Amino acid sequence: MSTDTLEMKRTTWKTPISKLKTVAIYEHHELIAALISGLLLLLSWIFKDQLTSVLWFALHGFAFAIGGYAKAKEGITETIQTKKLNVEILMILAAIGAITIGYWTEAAILIFIFALSGALETYSMNKSNRAISSLMDLQPEEALLLQDKRETTIPVSQLKIGDTILVRAGERIPADGVIVKGASTIDESTITGESLPIYRQNQHDVYAGTVALDGTLTIKITTKPNETLFQKIIQLVQSAQEEKSTSQLFIEKFESTYVYGVLAIVAIMMFLPYLLFNWTLSDSIYRAMVLLVVASPCALVASISPATLSAISNAARKGILFKGGVHLENLSNIQAIALDKTGTLTKGKPAVTKVYMDEAVNEKEILSIIGAIEKESTHPIAKSITAYCLDKAGVLAPTFEIKHLKNISGKGIIATVGNNEWRIGKADFVGKELTVAFQQQYADKQSTAEKTSTFIQINERIIGMFILKDTIRESAKEAIHNLKSNGIETIMLTGDNELTAKAVAEEVGINQYKANCLPQDKVAYVKSFRKQYKTMAMVGDGINDAPALANANVSIAMGEGTDIALDTADMVLMKNDLTKITNAIHVSKRMNRIIKQNIIFSLSIILLLVLTNYFQMIDLPLGVIGHEGSTILVILNSLRLLK
């Protein structure tokens, strides 16, 4: 990405709305031009009996110019740069050939279909490129440098290893480093993808792009700004997007061969029959023009685009969005699928699953007070407890006055209610020995590692305990079962610890899992699985999943995922229903079958028309009917995918 592009991204928020609309129109100008071209062609066909010859030709001329400009410019520019002819040039020549023998409508249809295909391809590429821009939003541009007891704001790019910076509560950390003063709960979801913030203090490592939620930190820089873990995520996404697939490379080679082959045959057709078979020169040229028209890949293009669009529309109605036909095509070939844990297999938010309360207390009253206390905290656990208390107690406005409320970063919360001191938080915050005794008396002995315990203490007495857990999505178990039934290997990749990973994998029915994964670890696993299984899919929802998503053959994002995951992914599950993956696979397989039928049929028709033209068995009108008729048939066959 160029410096100019990055600068444009950084100043977008300053751009007036009118200019933003202009940018949006320009971004879709190819699609708009193609649709206008098609509209002009449709009008000329509907009102052909009412239009004068001049107006009819004018409409066709505008359709050629508007629809064909972008692809003609692209074809000519690429030909000059690479010194090789391409399909764009062939389509231009085919249209010109049709015009020279008087078939303007056929030429316009050819231009319209090709322009529409190119516009959709450009749109897909633009969507993909936004992934890098989304990441840039999370990269701080300035840092507060501490030097000689002074605070100086400088660009992040000017930071050096050994510099000391200040990060206040609520701010995003601008560079990798180690804490030398202060403590804070850190939201590391951009790196690990885990929903629960982590408490960090003196000598703990912190990473660029993460957020200090509730404490001021003094950080010593340990990594160059352009080599941070966050920058590596950006680079991984960018490099993966620049890689060309095997199919793309094959098409590029086929394109050049096809163009030269057709043009060579047309050139031969113009003169060889005249020289060898006693044809007249006009007959030879006429047959060559017919050949150029019937050999143009109109039906071949229509074999893929309508089928793809129909399948994409079908999937969209079911809550599955694809960013391009190639991704839908590849989906049917996947042999393995990797799934992130937090936010993908699980809901990504801690929920209260069980409460243990001392029998001597009024549970409803206690929950009402706890809810009112926890309501003052922004911590995800506090929010879950507040929601639970509101649901069970019905009200968070106790008659008791709550005073001296204080959040202890990474530990819990303290408040005074009446004459009693309340503490709500971790075991070591309320007293380790007291919590052990309470657990032995009240709690379930089979508590597992993936659960979080939060204790309630009044003065020196533990009166209750909340058990919280990131719960499994309702669709996860069924989805894994369906994928296995289709012969697809399932693997879980998570930044969480081994015990938690194992527990979740067993619960949803996944056999393979990889724990303690940083973003680069997920990328490495995806690449290794691609070698093992050939075609690999990845499902994720977080920023930390973006590099792995970009390196998978097919990347799938949850609809509630982060912007970068949604922008990077090839496919989005809008309703976060993992069972839709199997539905999409079935649509993909059906689409591929229809595309194969269309390709075989269209190539057969082209071959038949070419041969019959050579033997002078058809004239131009019949050749056009056969050529355009085959196009209509493959389109009708493709439209079956709408059902």
Q: What is the dihedral of CA 375, 381, 383, 389, to 10 degrees?
A: -70
Tokens 């990473």 belong to 207
Q: Supply 641's token pair.
A: 């995918």
Phi/psi of residue 272, each to 5°? -60, -50
Residue 99 · residue 143 · CB < 8 Å: no
Cα atoms in the 13 Å half-sphere on the side-chain side of 314? 22
- H or E element that contains 491: strand 489-493
Q: Which of 163, 340, 496, 545 is catalytic?
A: 340
In the block, residue with structure tokens 């199919």:
247
Cβ 523 vs Cβ 551: under 8 Å: yes
Provide the phi-psi class of 352: left if phi over 0, else alpha when psi is between -120 and 50, else beta: beta
- Compute CA distances 384 → 141, 389, 537, 552, 621, whole Å: 33, 9, 33, 34, 72
Sheet-wide strand order for 205-206: 150-155, 142-147, 164-167, 217-221, 177-181, 205-206
Distance separating alpha carbons of residues 93 and 404, to the nearest angstrom: 82
Q: Which two tokens stand for residue 152?
A: 């100086």
Residue 340 annotated in active site: yes
Q: Which DSSP symbol is given to 13?
A: G
Tokens of 116: 């529409």
Residues 6+ apart with CB under 8 A from 114: 68, 71, 88, 91, 301
Q: Rounded CA gap, 423 and 415, in Å?
A: 7
Both tokens of residue 534?
Answer: 């050939």
Widest pairwise Cα distance in the chain: 115
Calculate ∠ Cα 21-24-28, nearest 5°: 140
Length of the chain equals: 643
The torsion angles phi and psi of 222, rounded to 5 degrees, stand at: -120, -10
Instruction: Fill in the amino acid letter for 197.
Output: P
Percent of residues in the chain assigned helix, strand, coil, to nearest 5: 55, 20, 25
| Single-letter amino acid code for the residue at 55 | L
DSSP string computed for 414-437: EEEETTEEEEEE-HHHH-HHHHHH
Partnered with residue 178 across adjacent β-strands are 205, 220
Sheet containing 402-408: give its strands across: 346-357, 461-472, 451-458, 420-425, 412-417, 402-408
Spatial neighbors of 32 by CB under 8 A, at least 6 apart, are 25
Rg (CA), the chain: 32
| CB 537, CB 518: distance < 8 Å | no
Kindly list the catalytic residues.
340
